[in-house]
Amino acid sequence: MKIIKTLLVIFIVSFISIFLTCGKQQTAFEATNIIMGTIVSQRIYGDNSNAAATEATEKIRSLEGRLSFFKPESEISRLNSSAGRTKIKLSPDTFFILSKSIEYSHLSGGMFNIMVGPLVKRWKVTGDNPVIPSPSEVRSLVALINYRDLILNKNELTARLSKKGQKVDLGGIAKGFAADEVLKIYRKHGIKSAIIDIGGNVSVLGYKPDGSPWAIGIQDPSKKRGNYICSIMLNNKSLSTSGAYERFFEKDGKVYHHIIDPTTGYPSKSDLQSVTIIGESSVDTDALSTATFILGLEKGLSLIKKTECEAVFITVDNKIHATEKLKNMIDCDASIEFHSKKK
C-alpha cells in the first residue's frame, strides 16, 4: 500500500488541452487514474477521444477486477484459493494471459514464472509491512513454484493449480495485456494518435499530431523519478521497463526488490538495474522485461535474440547496452554499446 499512498498524492485529473499543429487545432484528451496499483495515464488526439479514454479506463478496471492478486473475488484469486482442489472457469482474457505466461516461462527457462505468487505474498515487498522470510520458509515456498502445475484446458476455458498453496500472480504481464486492449479500443474509435502508460508499460498509436514520433524517456535508475537517461523515438510500438529501483524495501542496509528469482525465492540478483523492451505488443514486452531483468545482460540478450523485440539494458555499473536496430531511434546521456541480434 506504500505505493498507493504515494500515488494518491497525485491529483486524479481529467482535462482537455489544445494542441496546435499546422495552423489546425487538435484536441487532446488527457486522463490520469490509479488502477492495478499504479498510475494509468492516457493522452488521445482527435474526435471521440473522450469516449475512447472512458471506455479504455473501464476496460482496465474490468481487467483489474478479473486479474487482481489482491481482490478476493477476482478470477485469479478464485483460482488461487481453489489450488489443489478444483478447476476454475475463466474469461477469454484471463485464459489468454495465463497461456502467454506459460509460453514465456518456456522461453525464459522458467525465469518468467507467474507461480511466484506464494513468495510475492510472503515477502509483501510493495506492502506496508514487508517481511524477510526465514531461509527454510523460502525453501518450502520455492518447492511450490512449477509452471507445469498450472493446468489449462483450452476447450473448456478452465485452469487448475495442482497443489494446495500454489498461487499465480500476473503482476509481471497483466498491465502489458491491458495496454494492448486499450490500443484496440482507440482504433475502434477511429483514433490515429494516442499514448497510454500503465505503470511503465507505454504503448503509442501512430505519430504525434505534428507527424513526429513519440519520444519516450527511460528512467535513470540512480536518480529521482522523472530523470531520464535515454529517450527513444517510437510510433505504433510498445515499451515496458522493469527495474529494482521503484518497488523495494531496505533492511539492515540491504535492498530487497519485487522481482523474484523462482530458483532461489529471493529478489533476483543480476548485473542489471533496469531493462526496457520495445516491441509490437505490450503483453510481450511486459513479460520479457521481467524475464530479462532476472536473466541479466548476457542471457537476457540471448533471449531477446529469439524474439522480434529490441532492448535497452542498464547495468549496475551504469553502462548502457542496446540492440542494434535502436541505433537511429535512441538518444542517451551516456555512451551506448550496441549489440547485433544476429546469431
Chain position whose Cβ is nearest to Mg ion = 290
Query: Which segments within 165-227 are labelled E, that is strand?
Result: 193-198, 201-205, 214-219
Q: Nearest-CA neighbor of 291 among 111, 136, 132, 135?
A: 111
Q: Does residue 172 belong to the site contacting Mg ion (CB under 5 A)?
A: yes
286 is a site residue for ligand FAD (CB under 6 A)? yes
Segment contacting ligand FAD by CB under 6 A, of 23-31, 131-139, 165-173, 204-212: 165-173
Handedness of CA 179, 245, 232, 43 (dihedral sign): positive
Q: In terms of C-beta distances under 8 Å and separation of at least 24 residues, what long-range contacts does 305-308 make, across chains too? A: 305/341, 305/343, 306/107, 307/107, 307/279, 308/279, 308/280
Which range in 5-13, 182-190, 213-221, 258-266 contacts ligand FAD by CB under 6 A?
Answer: 258-266
CA angle, residues 183, 331, 308, in degrees to nearest 5: 50
Residue 145 binding ligand FAD, by CB under 6 A: no
Give the residue, chosen from 290, 294, 322, 323, that forms a contact with Mg ion under the rule CB under 5 A.
290
Nearest distance in Å: CB 287, Mg ion: 6
Q: Applying CB under 6 A, which of residues 43, 100, 258, 321 lies at the interface with ligand FAD?
A: 258
Binding flag, residue 303, ligand FAD (CB under 6 A): no
Region 110-139 residues binding ligand FAD, contact defined as CB under 6 A:
111-114, 116, 120, 126
Residue from 70, 207, 228, 266 that binds ligand FAD (CB under 6 A)? 70
Instruction: Kindly list the distances between the CA atom of residue 163 and the CA atoms of 80, 85, 148, 265, in Å, as whole numbers in the listed order.
Output: 10, 8, 11, 18
Segment (H or E) for 50: helix 49-67
Q: Which residues contact 191 (CB under 8 A, 6 or more apart)?
A: 44, 45, 46, 48, 49, 52, 205
Q: Does 310 bind ligand FAD (CB under 6 A)?
A: no
Q: Are 229 and 41 in contact (CB under 8 A)?
A: no
Rg of the chain over CA atoms, in angstroms? 20
Q: Which of 75, 93, 169, 220 binds ligand FAD (CB under 6 A)?
A: 169
Choose, by CB under 6 A, the member of 32, 80, 242, 273 that binds ligand FAD: 242
Residues lying near ligand FAD in the complex (CB under 6 A): 3-4, 36-38, 64, 67-68, 70, 111-114, 116, 120, 126, 169-172, 174-175, 199-200, 242, 247, 258-260, 262, 286, 289-290, 294
Residues lying near Mg ion in the complex (CB under 5 A): 172, 286, 289-290
